[in-house]
Amino acid sequence: MQNIFYFSEQSDPEKHAGYKARQDVESIVSKRYKPLYPYICKNKNRIIQIKNLFKELKKVKKNDYIFIQYPLVTFNKIANIILKRKKVILLIHDLNELRFGKTKTTEEKNIINNASLIISHNIKMTEYLKNHGVEENKIFNLHLFDYLSDNNAEINHTEDSNCICFAGNLEKSNFIYNLSENIIKLGINVYGINFNKDKSNKNINYMGSFEPEIISSVIKGKFGLIWDGEQSSVCSGCMGNYMRYNNPHKLSMYIAAGMPVIVWAQSAVSQFVEKYNIGFSVNSLEEMPDRIKNISESNYQLYRKNVLRIRERIVKGDFLNQALNNIEFFINGKK
C-alpha cells in the first residue's frame, strides 16, 4: 500500500513560532497524511539529531512519498540523501537565488531537481524552474498561499479613513520613507517590525506590530499594498526582483482581512489580482492617487465582494488542498 507522510515541524518551536505560512501548511497536510518527527530530538548534538532523522525515515517504504516544506527547518545539508533514497513532494516557500540574488548553489539546485514532485507558487515561478532544468510534468502550481482563520470572523477593516495599509518587515521596505506628499495624502497605516520613526514622515500612521495569527483581524485600510525595495517608482533590488516570481504571504493576509489590494504590475501576483478582480496593478506608486480617485464606490465594492469569495477558500486551506488533490491524482495515474 502506498502512503504519503509529512515532515512535522511542530516539535521545533524555537525555530518556528510565528511562521504562519509553514504552520498553516502543516495544519492542512496533517489532516491528510501521516507525520514523521525528524526534529523531535531536543538534544543539540547533530549526530543524535541525524540518527533520529534516519530512524523516522525507516517508516517510509519504497513506493511511499514524503511531503517536505522547502527550505527545510534543518538538515538542508543532507536533504539530497533523503531525496536519493525517498520520493519527495516538495512545497517551495522560498528560492534563495531569487530571494537573495545568489548564484544558485549546488545544494539548492540538487534539492529542487531531485524532488519527485514540486509545488511551485505560480506560473512565473514554474517557468523559472523549467528554464533551470526542472521537468514540467512534475511541477504543480499553488496559485495562492492559504491563510487559515475563522471563516465567521467579522471583517470591518476597510471602514477606515486612511486609504492604504502596508504590513511587513519595515527594515527591507525603505520605500515607505520615500513617499511623495501626493501618496501620503491618501492616508497610510503601516504595520510591522523595525519601523524607523526618525526617517518616517510624521503623517504616516505607524500602528505597531502584531503576530501573524492576529494581524489580519486588526489591520485597517481600504487597500492593502504589496510593494518592496527602496523606491516608490519601481520594486527594486533583490526583493523587488523576487516579486516577479513569488507569492507574497501578505497577499493572503490582506485577503484574509477582506481587503482589496494594490500590487506592482510586474509582480507575479498581478495576474492573479487582475484575473479575480480583487484590486489593481500599478507600475509606480505615483499612479495610486489618480487610480484611486477614479474608482467608483460600486467598483470598490465589487473588488471587496471578489476578495471575500477568495477569503472563503484560503481560510479553509482550499488552495493547498486542491494542489494536493492534483498531485494524488497524478501519482495514482502513474501506478
Pick the CATH number of 4-146+317-334 from 1.10.390.10, 3.30.365.10, 3.10.180.10, 3.40.50.2000: 3.40.50.2000
pLDDT in tens, 144-189: 999 998 766 556 666 666 799 999 888 888 899 989 999 999 999 9
Looking at every residue in the chain, the average pLDDT score rounds to 89
Where in the sequence of the chain do the CATH 3.40.50.2000 domains occur?
Answer: 4-146+317-334, 164-314
- pTM for this entry: 0.92
Q: In the prediction, which pLDDT does 125 show? A: 96
Q: Residue 149's closest CA among 9, 259, 222, 257?
A: 257
Sign of CA dihedral 18, 19, 24, 27: negative
Q: In the prediction, which pLDDT does 10 show? A: 74
- Is the pLDDT assigned to residue 199 strictly greater than 70? yes
pLDDT in tens, 105-126: 677 888 899 999 999 999 999 9
pLDDT in tens, 61-83: 999 999 999 998 888 878 888 88
Of 8-17, 145-154, 156-165, 274-283, the poorest mean pLDDT is in: 8-17
Q: Does domain 164-314 have CATH number 3.40.30.10?
A: no
- Cβ contact 278:270 at 8 Å: no
Give the pairing of strands 204-206 and 223-226. Answer: unpaired
Sign of CA dihedral 111, 117, 121, 124: positive
CA distance 204 to 275: 31
Q: Residue 114's closest CA among 142, 80, 146?
A: 80
CA distance 124 to 227: 18
